[in-house]
Amino acid sequence: LNVDNIGLKSLSGLENAPQLKLLHVVGNNFGGTFPEEVYSLTNLEVLYLSDNDIGGRLHSAMAVLTNLVYLQCYECGLDQSIPTWLGSLDSLEYLRLDQNSLHGTIPTEIEGLTKIQHIDLSDQISRGGTGLTGPLPRFANLLDLTELYLFKNNLSGDIPSDFLFGEYKTHELQVDLRQNKLTGTISSSLAQLSKLSIYLAGNMMTAAIPAQICTMSFARGYGCDGVMCPPGTFNELGRQTSKDNPCQPCDDLDSTQYYGSVQCGMNNEKEILKIFYSELNGPDWDDNDNWEDAGASACKYHGITCTAGTDYVESIVLESNNLVGTVPTEIFNLPNLREIKLKSNDITFNFEGIESAQKLVRLHLSDTGLTSIDGIGKAQSLKYLHLTSNILVNLPDDFFELSNLQDVYLNYNGIQGTLSTKIGKLTNLENLFVFHNRITGEIPTQVEYLTKLKTFAMAENYMSGTIPSELTSLSSLQIIALQREGGETAPGIGGPLEVKTAGEIGAGFTGSIPAFDQMPKLKELYLGANSLSGTIPRDFLNGIQDKSASIKVDLSQNILVGTVPEKLTAFDSLKLYLSDNKLKALPDAFCSKSSWMGGEVATNKCDAIMCPPGTYNEYGRQANDETPCEPCPFTYTAEFYGSIECIPSNTGDYSEREILRLFFQATGGNQWSDKSNWLKDGVSVCQWNGITCAYEEGGADDTVTRIQLPSNKLRGTVPPAIYQLPNLKTVDVSNNNVGFEFRGIEMARVLDALYLDRTRVSSLDGIGKASRLTTLHVQNNDFKGAPIPSELYDLGNLESLYLSDSNFGGTLSADIKKLDDLQEFYCHGNSLTGTLPPELGTLHNLKVLQLSENLFVGEIPREFDGMESLQSLFIDSYTRNSVGLSGPVPDFNQMEHLTEISLNANSLTGSIPDDFLINLKNKKSSVVIGLQDNQISGTLPQVLSRFSKLNIDVSGNMITKIDESLCALQGWQGGDVASFGCDAILCPAGTFNQYGRRSSNQFPCVPCEGAEQSPYMGSLICESEEKKKEKEILKLFYNVCGGKNWKNNDNWMSDDVDICHWFGISCKDGKTVDSILLGENNVVGTPPAKIFEMTNLKWLWLYSNPINFKFDGIGNAKRLTSLLLDQTGLSSLRGIGAASTIEDLDLRFNNLKGPLPPEISQMTNLKDFAVEGNRLTGALPSFDGMKRLERLRLGSNRFAGALQDFASNKRLKSIDVSGNIMSGPIPSTLLKGTDEDEEIYLDLSSNNFIGEVPGELARFEKMTIYLRDNLITGVNPALCENDEWNDGDVGEFNCDGILCPAGTFSENYGRQTTGGQLTQCVQCDKAKYFGASFCGVRSSAVTTRLGVAIGVVSASIVALAVTLI
């Protein structure tokens, strides 16, 4: 039967022709489905399936066709490994599967086809596949084989020495192995196959061709050139086949390294890059511009840079680009390769052959999952090595052979063992970063040979011993970081401290603290959280040459005693962190060092250095106006300077009655609602209201076990003295206006339940010591956006944890896995962000997980299947301005008890999986599924009929069909299906009601009116109704905001014109409004809050209009991403925090005054934030939560205080704080989280910044930096070597291209530049500081700013023009 090319869609009925032997169905239209009727044709001998879409697979059911002789399926769209069952077709003589996307290795079962004559598996790459991989099989026993085509795959390794050898073959045999990755040589034994023709061009073969092969007939008399062109030559076939196409020499003989080259020079490099692209899933890269353009130069490929003036690849930079797979070692054969940067990709990297990359100096493989660097020692030219955030466990010996290394970054791995004594061989090392690993032992004395070392950062490891003198004698060192030796993450230098755990006491470095008096360049010394003891040496830091420079020293949380040496007053700008030691004296002279501690000493005197005895706070010092040193609470004390906790004073002799009396007095007992029997003489405490006692064996009296006084009008603070009640198990003071302290809670050794809902608890500091707790309730409190404290996860006995509606922020930590006894976790209504930690899946006992109304994003982790006891899962997002969870609907197919799922108002996509809850034990029980208001599509599948009592809400999605069988399940939807059929599940397309389904006669599914009808079922509102509502909102906007007098109001208010065609309005797919663009249009008045109710509004641009804008209700605009209100007269930002979806916020040139409100920090999606040209004051708020921030424009205001380092804003690359009154030094850690390859823009001009411009900024190769008119006293010389800075001015003028030196000035610029016109640094004796832009005595930045303000109006016009462009 031959039915080729007739448009067949099915072979239905063909199963009734069981005697069929020949079937041709080439070029038909099976629509992605394999014609299963073929399985019945067991007598088939010839089957031609080519040029069909059969669903990408040849199924194992075909194995029954054991009579097949011919099987052809080229261009079938196959995307699978070669089926092993093919080996069972022992009659097969002809197999053609070329031009598909087969992958994986060639299975050994193929060699069982003893009758096979023809095999064609060629070209599995051209249709986007990775090709066949692995070694070339022997094909030794296929005695009848005459044709073998494996052209254009990715086969690798040597050709087997016994390739094609079984019995001696005398017949003709053609073998095509071109365009693979075969290496090595050709076995001379192949010459015994006298009629063999073998084609090998385009591989990676480097060994000479045996002479016996060169005389074979297929070489056509051209000798070895007839087999393959030799290295250094090429032609289009890779071999000579006639006198007219000889192997041509390449201009650069080194450019073709292999036999059989078909291209020269860069073309050969393009072949290597093609392999690179194919092996690393190139078609799915985030950016693959030009990689698939055969005519493009490789130098135009995204991420590829070539050596200037040549076509030779010099740099491969493809960071965070969705590369997946194994990096082919062929890239090491790129002769000019100097740089490989593949950070943040899911790749495997092998160092085999890296010695060929003789010019490679930079290797960046951070965050790639790298597990080993064995073989790296062969990369002898390496200078810069970045391997942060991987899974390395050791440093091999050959690592220490990299004698040219200058910078090494190995932070956040799992490197174990000691630091090798071979470290001394890295004599060119300048910066060594090995933070947060598992390194043990002592610092080897061989560090003395690292004489060029500037940074030695080994913090957060498990090192011990004393600090060797060999380290303290390295005169080039600027930074030493050895803090927190104990493996824990440092809380941040100068930040709040945590009380050491039992395991941390005595850990880390020990012995006395060195004087560090031989280190003239030292700027930063971090030794916190070790166990250094004794006194601080009298000559501590005395060797530092520049005592006017900014110096930072952290000695906190050691065991230092005595007094602090007064000689430290020689330093002008010192940050000295000494908290949590055992220091008993602080020189009075320190209290007058006004520039110390970032200027805090000027305000808070010695408290800014350490809290005095009897006081404490979490810093051990007054860090700012909001963190004063607090007196210890009643019955507690602090003996030393710098205390971070108070310890109980001696109340051991107090009776239980006396402790309860203290409790009564401290919580305003006389005003309690019920104080029955309290403090009455002769009445046992066990009869006092709210007190429960139990008999204690061996005791004279009953003992207090419970204090239960909920809703009793307690006030004040519960005194920690209650923890000394020896048998106290439960405390319940919920629903009282009372504070609660956890310090000393470890004394309550049997306490297992705390109920503190709706109290004044705002911190859980110390809770981690309540090790017996099984129940903790702290709902409806205000934790002010703080993260859930890490110590809470130390409560390993917790079974019930209630944290809902308590204003927790941050992310949910992976440490949640430590609560493995947890059964209930309620954390509803907080502001938790980020993705759901997969570690939740380790909570095997968890029954209820309530995380609704937070700000989670990302997919639901597959690991959730590990919560094998889970019964109820709630992660709704009804009330949050967040896209919510995304990704496919999980199948939950391992959950046996999960009968309640609520994932409403998220962004889940795809269809409901066929195996959804397939392993639920009791499918006859009531099952409730909430998936309303997502983006779920397709059909509600028939497989859901497995549930007999399902109540499912999938309204507000993109579902187009319900399987009809579901509409007959009378137990569904609480019995509503019995009454209303399919409508009880979803309203039909073109209808709606407020629930998206029918549940009663009162709420039928109502037909939509108008043309804008949704194609989806379950609509909650008609698009036509939505559009009517939008039209009314726009009319209101027009009337309220003076529409008649707008510059352009074309089509507005016209009932004959669709609102999508009103001037300034555009619509999503021509349906509902997604943008209002009315900038500079004479809009006036107050835009109504109703505009925020437009469901799909994304852009609201009202710049340059005299309006009175209010942010009330902006939280309703859940898709708003761009808001431009510059030059509108805006005077208040109240309510702006609700606009958490905004990415682009422009508030420039308005009337904003006072500090930026804290609610700005809630706008976690901001990318571009602009407020320049206002009158904002005060210190800058924290921008740490804005992880997506890229550009920050704060210039021409009155911001004061220190400049943040913005280390948490890893995408930030542009900062403008010019024209403010900010002060202090420029942080050495400024933008330390930003990738050094970014092009940076920094404008810090016209402020009061002091000190030297830090050399650490030199890591950025490209930067525009403006620093004029500050109080800067120097430029670190390292910066002056960055030739590309300031548009090349630094390369031209060295340091003068950054700032003119003191004693000179450059009008308007403060530096030498060729921009516009040549401006030079001119002599001026009055210019005291670097970067003067005029010759005169510098006034404060406030005065300087007045000149800046004059230009605001003209600048705003320019800015507006840019916006319009």
**Is 1016 in contact with 989 (CB distance < 8 Å)?**
yes
CA proximity to 438, closest of 465, 472, 471, 415: 415
pLDDT per residue over 527-549, tens digit each?
A: 999 999 999 999 999 999 999 99
pLDDT at residue 181, rounded to an integer: 86
Contact of 1329 with 1319, CB cutoff 8 Å? no
pLDDT tier at 491, thresholds 50, 70, 90: low
pLDDT score recorded for residue 485: 67
Percent residues over pLDDT 90 in the chain: 73
Residue 196 has pLDDT above 50, yes or no: yes
What is the per-residue burial (b if ≥16 Cβ within 10 Å, else e) of 29-40? ebeeebbebbeb
The per-residue pLDDT for range 1118-1149, each reduced to its tens digit, is: 789 999 999 999 999 998 887 877 999 999 99
Report residue 1079: phi and psi, to 5°.
-65, 145
Give pLDDT, residue 945: 95
1075 Cβ neighbours under 8 A, 6+ residues apart: 1065, 1066, 1097, 1098, 1099, 1100, 1101
pLDDT surpasses 50 at 1361 = no
Q: pLDDT band at 645, cuts 50/70/90? A: confident
Strand bridging mode 636-637 / 630-631? unpaired
* 1153, pLDDT greater than 80: yes
* Residue 735 DSSP symbol: S
Spatial distance between the Cα atoms of 558 and 555, rounded to a whole number of angstroms:
7
State how beta strands 1072-1077 and 1065-1068 pair.
Answer: antiparallel
pLDDT tens, residue by residue, 55-82: 899 999 999 999 999 999 999 999 999 9
With a CB cutoff of 8 Å and minimum separation 6, the contacts of 979 are none
Asked whether 462 and 486 are in contact (CB, 8 A), the reply is yes
List of residues 6+ apart from 200 with CB closer than 8 A = 177, 178, 182, 186, 227, 228, 238, 259, 260
Instruction: Read off the pLDDT band of 490 (50, 70, 90).
Output: low
* Mean pLDDT calculated for residue range 1269-1295: 93
Q: What are phi and psi of 909, to 5 degrees?
A: -125, 180
The per-residue pLDDT for 1318 is: 66
Q: Which long-range contacts (CB under 8 A, 24 or more apart) does 285-293 make?
A: 285/318, 285/321, 285/322, 285/323, 286/320, 286/321, 286/322, 287/321
Q: What is the mean pLDDT of residues 750-759?
A: 97
Q: Between β-strands 455-457 and 479-481, what pairing exists: parallel, antiparallel or unpaired?
A: parallel
Contacts of 857 (CB under 8 A, 6+ apart): 833, 834, 835, 882, 883, 884, 885, 886
Nearest to 340, CA basis, from 153, 291, 356, 292 = 356
Contact 34, 57 (CB under 8 A): yes
User: How far is Cα 342 from Cα 285, in angstroms, rounded to an integer?
Assistant: 12
CA separation for the pair 151, 180 (Å, rounded)? 7
pLDDT at res. 1117: 84
Is residue 300 pLDDT above 80, yes or no?
yes
Full DSSP string of 421-480: GGGGG-TT--EEE--SSEEEEPPPGGGGG-TT--EEE--SSEE-BPPPHHHHT-TT--EE
Mean pLDDT of 1074-1078: 95
Residue 45 has pLDDT above 90, yes or no: yes
Task: Give the per-residue pLDDT at 816.
Answer: 97
Q: Which of 1087, 952, 1071 is nearest to 1017 (CA)?
A: 952
Q: Which residue has the tokens 């060729």?
A: 1314
Q: What is the average pLDDT across 866-891?
A: 88
Residue 602 is inside which H or E element, if any?
A: helix 600-604
The CA-based angle 186-192-194, given to 5 degrees, is 105
The least confident of 154-158, 579-583, 1295-1299 is 154-158
* Residue 1272 identity (one-letter amino acid): I
Cβ contacts of residue 625 below 8 Å, gap of 6+? Answer: 603
Going by pLDDT thresholds of 50, 70 and 90, the confidence category of residue 1360 is very low
Task: Indicate the pLDDT class of residue 1355, thresholds 50, 70 and 90.
Answer: very low
| Structure confidence at residue 1025 (pLDDT) | 78
| Residues across the chain | 1365
Residue 1346 has pLDDT above 50, yes or no: no
Given a cut of 70, whether residue 943 has pLDDT beyond it is: yes
**Average pLDDT of the residues in 770-785:** 95
Whole-number pLDDT of residue 882: 65
Tokens 């309006």 label which residue? 1107
Residue 848: partners with Cβ closer than 8 Å, 6 or more residues away? 823, 824, 825, 826, 870, 871, 872
Nearest to 1243 by CA among 1331, 1337, 1148, 1164: 1331
Q: Among 271-280, 484-493, 775-784, 968-977, which is the least confidently predicted range?
A: 484-493
Greater confidence (1364 vs 20) lies with: 20
b/e code 54-89 from CB counts within 10 Å (16+ = b)? bbeebeeebbbbebbbbbbbbbbbbbeebbebbbbb
pLDDT for res 647? 78
